[in-house]
């Protein structure tokens, strides 16, 4: 199960992401927002991140205008490793090296086609399980 969260700045891009997830057969829980009306990303990111941290959801896709604010909010929740990705190589490496469990995207800085390519990689790429990466993720979890 994938947790989805966006603010007004990510609302349009999230529509495209939801469309892709549905067409590919993924299940998700949508934490909103559900309109383009101005809202505060921390209030939307927090419950979605907590759903991942407590195991109700496996991963998350969070979108705000730049991806920066919503990734900061998500990373405040213990156990979350949110990665802001603007390209496919970043999505590959955040999964391979960091076992990122939240993908953050910027609705005002990337287009839907690129976002979908990033989402595809984020959802299909596995963590490497290399010792050095496991050690570093464990260190992150201790912070």
**What is the tens place of the pLDDT at every residue in 41-65?**
999 999 999 999 999 999 999 999 9
Range of the domain at 17: 2-142
Q: Indicate which residues carry an active-site annotation.
A: 64, 97
pLDDT in tens, 66-108: 999 999 999 999 999 999 999 999 999 999 999 999 999 999 9
Q: Are 1 and 28 in contact (CB under 8 A)?
A: yes
For 75, residues 6+ apart whose C-beta sits below 8 A from its C-beta are 81, 82
Cα of first residue to Cα of last residue in the chain, in angstroms, is 26
Q: State the pTM of this model.
A: 0.96
CATH number for the domain spanning 49: value is 3.40.1400.10
Q: How does pLDDT run across 9-25, given as a tens digit for each residue?
A: 999 999 999 999 999 99
Residue 38 confidence (pLDDT): 96
Q: What was the pLDDT predicted at 104?
A: 98
Identify the DSSP state of 29.
E
Q: What percent of the chain has pLDDT over 70?
A: 100
How many domains would you assign to the chain?
Answer: 1
Proportion of the chain above pLDDT 90, given as a percent: 98
Alpha helices in the chain (DSSP H): 11-24, 41-53, 68-75, 88-96, 112-124, 131-142
Spatial neighbors of 83 by CB under 8 A, at least 6 apart, are 71, 90, 91, 94, 98, 100, 102, 103, 104
């Amino acid at each position: 199960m994938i947790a989805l969260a966006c603010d007004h700045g990510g609302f349009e891009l999230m529509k495209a992401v939801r469309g892709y997830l549905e067409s590919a057969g993924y299940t998700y829980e949508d934490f909103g927002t559900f309109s383009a009306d101005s809202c505060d990303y921390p209030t939307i990111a927090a419950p979605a991140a907590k759903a991942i941290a407590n195991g109700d959801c496996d991963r998350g896709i969070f979108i705000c205008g730049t991806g920066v604010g919503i990734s900061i909010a998500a990373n405040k929740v213990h156990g979350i490793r949110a990665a802001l990705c603007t390209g496919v190589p970043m999505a590959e490496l955040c999964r391979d090296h960091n076992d990122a469990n939240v993908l953050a995207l910027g609705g005002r800085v990337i287009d839907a086609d690129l976002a979908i390519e990033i989402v595809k990689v984020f959802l299909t790429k596995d963590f490497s399980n290399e010792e050095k990466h496991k050690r570093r993720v464990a260190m992150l979890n201790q912070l």
